Amino acid sequence: MATTLRQLLGGLNDRASADPGAATIEDVTGALAHLGRALSGLADDGLTARDSTRQRTVTALATACTTAGLLWPHHGGPLTDLAGAAADLAGRDRAIMGRSHRWALAVEVAETADTCARFGRRLLPRTAAPELAAVRALAATLEQDAQADPPTATGWGLLDRPVPLTATPRGPSEMTALDAAAALTAALDRAQGGNDLTLRDFRAAVAAAEITCRRAATFDAAVAGDDAGPLVVAGLAWHQAGRASTVFDDGRRAGPVDPRGVVAWARSLAGALHTNIDRLSALPAHGDDHGDDHDVRHTDGMAQQVAGQLPTLADRLLAAVDHWSRTGRLYASARDLPPMENMPEDRIEAVIAGRHVLATGADLDRLRQAVGRAADLSTGLVETLYRPGTGEQEQRHLPDRPDREALLRGVTGRLLRVQAVERDIAAIRSRHQPAPHPPPR
């Protein structure tokens, strides 16, 4: 399984809420030192555009955690190890964090710091280590701010960004969708870092984004008993982005699929999503078995987490289009490119003759707009899909949502109906597929 910040901090909270019999104060303060390190990075990068109470509170809490962490020498332990891994993971993601992400992570880390400080107080005499009381007081202040201004769903999504696996795809039956989504993003990073992203890779990633959107929307509509129409718009936007890419060719012949490449992981993601949905479709339409409900809840959470990776995936695909527009790696028929003001003579001749030309700059505007539109709609889908998890902590920081327990009954019947509509949409789209373009000459 891929590891996320939410899992690491959740595991730390669980351990710090358990019986203190086997715990040591050195392990608690070691964990607080790492949490202070994570908060310091968030404060340094900025929680708000200018100086604010929130910024000062996070800075003060980082200092308080660091101070508490110096009270005893560090000898390691489960709490210290979990907090250290979480701080390292937060540091890895600093380059891609915006203020909304930093705010969500600060709220989560503050809650964990409060739990650790409370745990430490249970191990010591009442009047000992006032530094732990300072941590709790500052964490409570941040908690009040989070109640008034909860983090957004996009911000919370960072906590579900997984560390990718290093193994090759093992097939849908052995691969979770979240694992495959993490590995797909990592494969895109490798290909772009080596300047080796192919148009085939790009289209595979776009198709994976489309399938992710459609599957997440389908399942959400089935669970909530709502119309899937408004939610499948993001999937249709990714479909249009894929069609926009068919205008271009990079001149590369399709070779064997790299087992650690973009295409392989895109296929693995699609297979894992199909496997999850098909398994739920096979459940009794009106069953109330506890195991069935557990499967529904698990897949509901999985759909949210995987959909939460869409904004990151979209950023990578937009970066690919921008790179191609600067470097001129793609070809297209001159007749299929957007019209130009003051079209040069050689382009006019190419249009008349129907020749392929090198596509640069504004030639990729339509593709960039299509991917950008899909990215925006995917972010909106994430905002719609996100719901508080089962943990008390998530419930505390998000607006009240309807209780979904009653909606879980009969989910399979609704899922089958929504899938029937989805098949109809796919059949309609298949009648309008673009004709294949000849290779560049």
Lowest mean pLDDT across 2-11, 172-181, 369-378: 172-181
For the record, the structure tokens of 135 come out as 């941590």
Residue 256: CB partners within 8 Å, gap ≥ 6? none
Give DSSP secondary structure letters for 335-356.
GGSPP-TT--HHHHHHHHHT-E
Name, of 2-6, 37-41, 95-99, the range with top average pLDDT. 37-41
Pairwise pLDDT comparison (37 vs 408), residue with the higher score: 37
Lowest mean pLDDT among 136-140, 240-244, 411-415: 411-415
117, two tokens: 């400080």
Residue 47, pLDDT score? 93
- Over the chain, what is the mean pLDDT? 80
Tokens of 93: 């993601």
Residue 166: the pLDDT is 56
Mean pLDDT in residue range 287-306? 58
Is residue 56 scored above 80 in pLDDT? yes
Report how far residue 118's alpha carbon sits from residue 28's, in angstroms, rounded to the nearest whole number.
10
If you write DSSP's letter for every residue of 15-66 in order, what string do you get?
HHTS-GGG--HHHHHHHHHHHHHHHHHHHHH-SSSS--HHHHHHHHHHHHHH
Q: How confident is the model at residue 163 (pLDDT cuts 50, 70, 90)?
A: confident
Q: How far is it, in rounded angstroms, from Cα 306 to Cα 220? A: 13
For residue 246, pLDDT over 90 is answered with: yes
Phi-psi region of 195 (alpha: psi -120 to 50; beta: other; left: phi over 0): left
Model confidence at 440, pLDDT cuts 50, 70, 90, reads very low
The residue-averaged pLDDT of 312-319 equals: 91
Most confident of 57-71, 304-318, 348-362: 57-71
Is it the case that residue 38 has pLDDT exceeding 80? yes
Buried b (16+ CB within 10 A) or exposed e, 326-361: eeebbbbbbebbeeeeeeeeebeebbeeebbbebee
Rounded Cα–Cα distance for residues 32 and 26 (Å): 10
Predicted confidence (pLDDT) at residue 407 exceeds the cutoff of 60: no
pLDDT at 240 over 90: yes
Would the pLDDT of 284 be above 60? Answer: no
Question: pTM value?
Answer: 0.68
Q: Mutual orientation of helices 262-281 and 411-430 as an angle, nearest 10°?
A: 130
Residue 199 has pLDDT above 80, yes or no: yes
Q: How far apart are CA 171 and CA 81, in angstroms?
A: 32
Between 290 and 276, where is the model more confident? 276
pLDDT at 217 over 90: no
CB-CB contact of 330 with 249 (8 Å): yes
Between CA 347 and CA 81 the distance in angstroms is: 61
User: Among 47, 49, 71, 70, which residue's Cα sits nearest to residue 59?
Assistant: 47
Residues 16-32 have pLDDT tens digits of 988 777 788 999 999 99
On the question of pLDDT at 75 being above 80, the answer is yes
Percent of the chain, pLDDT > 70? 76
**pLDDT band of 300, cuts 50, 70, 90:** low
Residues 35/189, Cβ–Cβ less than 8 Å = no
Query: Is 50's pLDDT higher than 70?
Result: yes
Q: Phi/psi class of residue 382: alpha, beta or left (left: φ > 0; alpha: ψ in -120 to 50)?
A: alpha
DSSP 8-state class, residue 259:
T
Please check the confidence at residue 364 and state whether its pLDDT lies above 50: yes
Contacts (Cβ under 8 Å, ≥6 apart) of 100: 151, 152, 154, 155
Question: What is the per-residue pLDDT for 287?
Answer: 47
What local confidence, expressed as pLDDT, does residue 391 receive? Answer: 37
Query: What does the block give as tokens for 159?
Result: 């906590």
Beta carbons of 76 and 30 less than 8 angstroms apart = yes
As a whole number of angstroms, the distance between CA 234 and CA 241 comes to: 11
Cα–Cα–Cα angle for 57, 95, 41, rounded to 5 degrees:
30
Of 99, 112, 127, 98, nearest in space to 15 by CA: 112
Mean pLDDT, rounded, for 278-290 = 51
Per residue in 107-160, pLDDT tens? 999 999 999 999 999 999 888 889 999 999 999 999 999 999 998 877 887 787
Checking if the pLDDT of 392 tops 50, the result is no
Residue that wins the pLDDT comparison between 17 and 161: 17
**What is residue 428's predicted lDDT score, i.e. its pLDDT?**
42
pLDDT at 257: 86
Under the banding of pLDDT at 50, 70 and 90, the label for residue 410 is very low
Q: Can you give the pLDDT at residue 171?
A: 46
User: Which residue would you say has higher pLDDT here, 88 or 387?
Assistant: 88
Q: Is 5 helix (H, G, I), strand (E, B) or coil?
A: helix
pLDDT for residue 211 is more than 80: yes
Token pair recorded at residue 207: 């198709």
Strand partners, 356: 333
**DSSP secondary structure of 72-111:** S-----HHHHHHHHHHHHHHHTGGG--HHHHHHHHHHHHH
Confidence at residue 206, expressed as pLDDT on a 0 to 100 scale: 96
For the sheet with 356-359, list strands across it. Answer: 248-249, 330-333, 356-359
Output DSSP code: residue 283: S
CA distance 61 to 107: 11
Q: Domain extents for the chain?
A: 5-159, 172-430
Residue 227 has pLDDT above 70, yes or no: no
Select the more confidently predicted residue: 404 or 309. Answer: 309
